[in-house]
Amino acid sequence: MASGSDGPDRSETPKHTNRLSKEKSSYLLQHAHNPVDWYPWGQEAFDKAKSEDKPIFLSVGYSTCHWCHVMERESFEDEEVGKILSKNFVCIKVDREERPDVDKVYMTFVQATSGGGGWPMSVWLTPDLKPFIGGTYFPPRDSGRRPGLKTVLLRIIEQWQSSRETLESSGERVLEALRKGTEISASPGETLPSGPDVANRCYQQLAHSYEEEYGGFREAPKFPSPVNLMFLMSFWAVNRASSEGAEALRMVLHTLRMMAQGGIHDHVAQGFHRYSTDSSWHVPHFEKMLYDQGQLAVTYITAYQVSGERIFADVARDVLLYVSRDLSDMSGGFYSAEDADSFPTVESIEKREGAFCVWTAGEIRELLPDIVKGATGAITQANIFMHHYGVKEQGNVDPAQDPHGELQGQNVLIVRYSVELTAAHFGISVDRLSELLSDARAKLAEVRRARPPPHLDTKMLASWNGLMLSGFARVGAVLGDKALLERAERAACFLREHLWDEEGQRILHSCYRGDNMEVDASPIAGFLDDYAFVVCGLLDLFEATQRVHWLQWAEELQLRQDQLFWDSQGSGYFCSDPSDPTLLLALKQDQDGAEPSANSVSAMNLLRLSHHTGRQDWIQRSQQLLTAFSDRLIKVPVALPDMVRSVMAQHYTLKQVLMLADGNTEGFLYQRLPILSTLVSQDGKATAYVCENFACALPVTCPQELRRLLLE
């Protein structure tokens, strides 16, 4: 069991053990030995709160969350805090990745009442689960104007005893406002928003927040935001002749180059960290999330397709190398995340953020002592490496990006010069420089493998596996790489074998690597994200491999998604089962953030599936969904850039669907699309038909002519 606790002796027998020790979630297990009487989310805890008439303390986080570790170490390991919590509250711990439905409801409350949100999230509820006070991280003791957790707990105990009705009524008022404020539905007679108008407004809003020097949107902290970059490439695709289209593409390519060169990109062990704490992509928050890797692989390979620049294909492949090596389970599934914190040495008793990834100048000099002869004279490999990657003797991390002093004297590798400039600086050839840098990175990677690794969250989520499936399928298809496509198919087989409940005809949300190395599925039923992201991944896999059984399963899952989550009254999909009595808000996520909204993904899935299967009702459902979100799309399309792409696809007519007419008239495709029977090869040659709205242009056998038709 991996532990997020930084106790004084990692091998000593725990003094305390609570109910979380029987859970599977890494995050819950990290709190299994707190002196807090923790309960997992469930009926046992709810019944206790009602029978003892106690308020509930709900704490939500995830296993690779840095500040969750801090709060656990500072507060939940504290004996005094533990006694206060256990005596006066029913304490419930939730893994937000395991129960995103619970997290979304209470995060909506916290954001509405405190003006911000994040993890760890701390919320106090009535015994019937209604929130009345909420926040995020609380220090253990008062600090300046910020009250400590102990102070907050004592105040809430006092108010619960003296002013309970006031607490409950204020919470109820907020909840009622949230029910009205979060309602998303199509009004009678409302029509689909204009594709060009919404796209232009989204472009203008993104351009306004674009940061010119290093790319990205906003100053700091900076997130990769693949949804923004994918929208801008779609905007360019339909506005190539305009200055706005050219500028959209420039913004994307510059941002992706800067990210690839920055410290947010792991130059030694590949993959991308969560976000940058500064505007130059230099000092990251070091955790690595699966959902980022999946989306960035797709974004970089799309940039390669539109620009032809090899660097973008190399980075896409680089991301998949990291995932294949470090986030892959033998079952074919993908693990959720890698932590930011780790022990600097095997003797260390305290974890530090970034310890696994950073370097001192002395370490670099010791590792790379070889002498290299250049036109400027003899120099060490270390000097070349340090020059190229911005390594400084005193460390290259600005103290402003290191509030806890964990990175003092350390270096986060960042590409400071092009290979041409570095080669010229030392008077060696570009090829020789590339060889030296590659050799140096390999030596550093070997040393890193001997360091205490960060905690790995081996939870495998259906939704994030769907995003990663898209990454392998799309990159494999563009590069013609059979190994990547085989890995994509293994992922799809994993989803079918371990996260599909055949008897109940439902996706399961998560599974875990058990102690016996068997995959152990959780009974938690899948949420909207799980269905939408897996359907998208299966469609990408079908188009990459032309294996029809993946399309058949995608159709099956879409039908089930419609049954479980579609709002027949107001249109659009609920994020989770709207009939669950423990969830106080029936939400439809209206923002494309770190992950795209499942409604955004579903709008495009429905459109793609309608073209693959001939089902006109799915085109109508996609339009109804977009109409439900029309107010948001018209006013602040920048909140839903992925959904704007679906509005554009409705307007400009989808051309991204690819299928193979193999002549099997008894097969699934020909039964769904009778038009395929009219398509025949010309003179025995491979023949392409470009079709729109189920009407096809004349056949072409020339690749150049096909390219012209697709670009029209």
Q: What is the pLDDT of residue 188?
A: 81
- Phi, then psi, of 645 in degrees rounded to 5: -60, -35
CA distances in angstroms from 419 to 100, 391, 403, 457, listed in the order given: 44, 16, 33, 36
> In this prediction, what percent of the chain has a pLDDT beyond 70?
98
User: For residues 531 and 606, what is the distance between their CA atoms, to the nearest angstrom?
Assistant: 12
Q: Token digits for 199?
A: 């796209």
pLDDT tens per residue, range 177-208 = 998 888 899 888 788 999 999 999 999 999 99
Look at residue 8 and tell me whether its pLDDT is greater than 60: no
Q: What is the pLDDT of residue 684?
A: 87
Look at residue 369 and tell me whether its pLDDT is greater than 70: yes
User: For residues 260 and 43, what is the distance between their CA atoms, to the nearest angstrom?
Assistant: 47
Q: What is the pLDDT of residue 6?
A: 40
Domain ranges of the chain: 19-181, 195-339+458-652, 357-449, 679-711
User: For residues 94 and 61, what is the distance between their CA atoms, to the nearest angstrom?
Assistant: 7
pLDDT band for position 223 (cuts 50, 70, 90)? very high
Q: What is the pLDDT of residue 516?
A: 66
Strand pairing partners for 695? 692
The pTM assigned to this predicted structure is 0.94
As assigned by CATH, the class of the 195-339+458-652 domain is mainly alpha
Least confident of 125-134, 243-252, 306-315, 397-406: 397-406
Sequence-ordered list of residues with C-beta below 8 angstroms from that of 96, at least 6 positions apart, any chain: 60, 61, 62, 102, 103, 119, 121
Secondary structure (3-state) at 682: strand
Cβ–Cβ < 8 Å for 673, 611:
no
Residues 570-595 have a mean pLDDT of 92
Look at residue 35 and tell me whether its pLDDT is greater than 50: yes
User: For residues 171 and 132, what is the distance between their CA atoms, to the nearest angstrom?
Assistant: 4
User: For residues 331 and 497, what is the distance between their CA atoms, to the nearest angstrom?
Assistant: 9
User: For residues 530 and 465, what is the distance between their CA atoms, to the nearest angstrom?
Assistant: 9
Cβ–Cβ < 8 Å for 414, 389:
yes
Mean pLDDT computed over every residue of the chain: 93
pLDDT tens per residue, range 332-351 = 999 999 999 999 999 999 99
Look at residue 9 and tell me whether its pLDDT is greater than 70: no
In this structure, how many other beta carbons lie within 10 angstroms of the beta carbon of residue 286? 28
Backbone region of residue 688 per phi and psi (left: phi > 0; alpha: psi in -120 to 50; beta: other values): beta
Sequence-ordered list of residues with C-beta below 8 angstroms from that of 236, at least 6 positions apart, any chain: 245, 246, 248, 249, 252, 306
Cβ–Cβ < 8 Å for 92, 41:
yes
Cβ–Cβ < 8 Å for 327, 440:
no
pLDDT tens per residue, range 626-649 = 999 999 999 999 999 999 999 999
Strand pairing partners for 222? 276
Measured N-to-C along each axis, helices 149-162 and 164-181 cross at an angle, to the nearest 10 degrees, of: 100
pLDDT tens per residue, range 64-118 = 998 999 999 999 999 999 999 999 999 999 999 999 999 999 999 999 998 888 9
Q: What is the pLDDT of residue 3?
A: 36
Q: What is the pLDDT of residue 700?
A: 95
* Residue corresponding to tokens 């006092």: 158
pLDDT band for position 218 (cuts 50, 70, 90)? confident
pLDDT tens per residue, range 152-174 = 999 999 999 999 999 999 989 99
Look at residue 523 and tell me whether its pLDDT is greater than 60: yes
Residue among 83, 106, 72 nearest 153 (CA): 83
CA distances in angstroms from 623 to 345, 355, 534, 607, 618, listed in the order given: 56, 49, 21, 9, 9
Please state whether the peptide bond connecting residue 221 to the residue before it is cis, i.e. omega within 30 degrees of 0.
yes
Look at residue 553 and tell me whether its pLDDT is greater than 90: yes
Beta strands in 381-490, from DSSP E residues, in sequence order: 456-457, 460-461
pLDDT band for position 655 (cuts 50, 70, 90)? low
Does domain 19-181 fall under CATH 3.40.30.10? My reply is yes
